[in-house]
Chain A
Amino acid sequence: METLHYLSLGFGVALQPENLMFALMGCFIGTLIGALPGLGPANGVAILIPLAFTLGLKPETALIMLTAVYAGAMYGGRISSILLNIPGDEPAMMTCLDGYPMARKGKAAEALAISAIASFMGSLIATVGLILLAPMLARFALTFGPAEYFALFVLAFATLGGITGKNPMKTLMAAAIGLIIATVGIDLSTGTQRYTFGVLELYEGIDFIIAIVGLFAVSELLFFIEEKAGKGREMIKINPLKLNWRDIASIFPTTLRGGVLGFIAGVLPGAGASLGSFITYTLEKKILGKKGYFGEGDPRGVAAPEAGNNGASSGALVPMLTLGVPGSGTTAVLLAMLVSLNITPGPMMFTQNADLVWGVIAALLVGNFMLLLLNIPLVGVFVKILSVPPMYLLPIVTMVAFVGIYSISHSTFDLYFMIAFGVAGYILRKLEIPLVPVILGLLLGPEMEKNLRHAMQISDGDWSILWSSGLSIGLWLVAILGLLLPVIVGPILRKRMQAAKTQIGD
């Protein structure tokens, strides 16, 4: 009942004309970002943060817009999977498996429409799940003390690499690098200067928005130059759409299963959207067995992973909103937005910033309908923009990133910093050191240190407080599992995903 009350409050916020407009804009931009290969959702949201800032948007409007971008990107990823056989973002990889064969058979329009409907269903199911689960989790999280929070942060880092992550030590190293960068600047509680080397610009610490944009946007440009992918690839032409209700009804059970499974994968630490779409696809293949023709353009093979990855992306918002601990790259970037708007993420948000949280949740529902409407009739527009070769697109995107960063502070010093982060990001990616933990470290560093401090003040310097309660011991155990599982289960899962990937190449 309470939830319904809050939800109607949220709709009150989401349906304000200004917020509706920005949600629509976000949906449009998001679909574009998702569709363009090489411009992933985390990257796209990162570039938009400084712009949302300089526009002076209200916190809820800014967050609504960026969440719409996030949701849109998950829709958009499928377009290039189907038409180009290149996933627009990582979770869309599984959509290539049946989407591209369908398109080659002259059913591109049907594949696009079915995947849009599946995305819609997956998102809808997961948003309902979010509405039911998030308030409960937030209430539970209120019982967390500083020691539990410290353990939770460790857990977040440990599981961030995911079960499929290659080398957990590299995830840990990335997190340490991020946390180390976060300690630069004046220490908030004692006023001690740390690692500033007397440089005035470093006193306030390193702005994580600059770091995020540099790490993602600039390093992406460098990767494109290296792969000489400037010309783009040949695209399949779209045929006129022929879809009847029976086709839609036939994918319905698939989308239901996909949405639920995806949601669970999104909520759980260490799983995420890529694994979500992988699991849903494999499960669907198992359930339907010989009745389907998976890998040769089965519509259900398009619907399953799309429902899965959209479900997972909404699911991933649950830990981000309730605990303040994001489970994926894009939710980490969304968290960056919250932090820079001076909103402390975590369970208190549900009481202190109820209109914001529920506004965003309601906007997710509204945005989902907008996206369905945008994605079926307007798909041609996106396809047209997708045919602009990356050699024009990426320089322009980089320029927009420059403008965004420059307009925050009007200082060229920040721009040099951004370029430096871009080069660092390129090197880290070459060494297969993941970037998301770096960003999460940058973001959560101050909060993590604060909780460590509080815990130690409570215990009067006794370190054992960090693992004294049942809850914190549980969190530590999961964290350790998060580091060990990839070593044990990882190789098997990776092999299977690899097998799926090579199938695309055929």
Chain B
Amino acid sequence: MSKLNDRVFGLVMLVVAVAYFYGATQFPVPFGGSEAVGPETFPKILGVVLAICSLYMIVKPDPDNHWPALRTFAELCIAVVVLIVYALLLEPLGFILATTLAVGTLCWRMGAKPLKAYLTGLISGAVVFVLFTYGLELPLPLGLLELN
């Protein structure tokens, strides 16, 4: 079994640890002179701990977990993109429309029939909107549906 995952991650974290430690040495000396424990002391300790753990992972890696096949991986990417677009469109489109799109697409990609999926999105979005705006008095953006 391959043990590459842990090695790669260990290497990445080692770089992070070094950069983080270096970052800590660059803090300006606080007003009033340096103390026994300045703003840089704790980060320096953490940098060392992280570096040791990373080295351990590189030297003694665990066997890899299997990663998803290409198609599943694509589905995962779609899901993340849907979430990002959801955040992006939440204000311009409004909560109900954005939720219909986001929840609908997610349900559909997870195996629901498209019509049922988007209906789930619409209903859940509308219910949460009403609940928040009128029940809890926490207005969510209405976006396009807003009547001037």
Contact = CB atoms under 8 A, between A and B. Distances in A.
Interface stretch (A220-228, A288-296, A330-338, A359-367): A220-228
11 contacts: A55-B136, A176-B53, A179-B46, A180-B20, A225-B109, A392-B112, A394-B110, A407-B140, A412-B91, A431-B6, A456-B35
A416 B87 contact: yes
Interface string A415-434: 11001001100100011100
A396 B123 CA distance: 10
A226 B46 contact: no
B93 interface: no
A166 B6 CA distance: 14
Given A187-B39, A456-B37, A177 B80 contact: no
Contact of A403 (B67, B68, B107, B140): B140
A482 B84 CA distance: 40
A152 B116 CA distance: 52
Contact of A430 (B20, B65, B88, B99): B65
Contacts of B103: 395-396, 398-399
Interface of B is mostly: helix
Nearest to B67: A430
Given A169-B53, A226-B76, A228-B72, A452 B136 contact: no
Interface of A: 54-55, 166-167, 169-170, 172-173, 176-177, 179-180, 183, 187, 189-192, 194-195, 218, 221-222, 224-226, 228, 230-231, 389-392, 394-396, 398-400, 402-403, 406-407, 412, 415-416, 419, 422-423, 426, 430-432, 448-449, 452-453, 456-457, 460-461
Contacts of A461: 35-37
A419 B37 contact: no
B57 interface: yes
Contact of A432 (B24, B65, B88): B65
A415 B106 CA distance: 17
The 4 nearest A-B residue pairs measured at CB: A461-B36, A395-B106, A173-B53, A230-B110
B83 A449 contact: no
A389 B140 CA distance: 28
A403 B37 contact: no
Contacts of B54: 173
Contacts of B62: 166-167, 170, 432
A488 B129 CA distance: 53
Nearest to A459: B36
B88 A177 contact: no
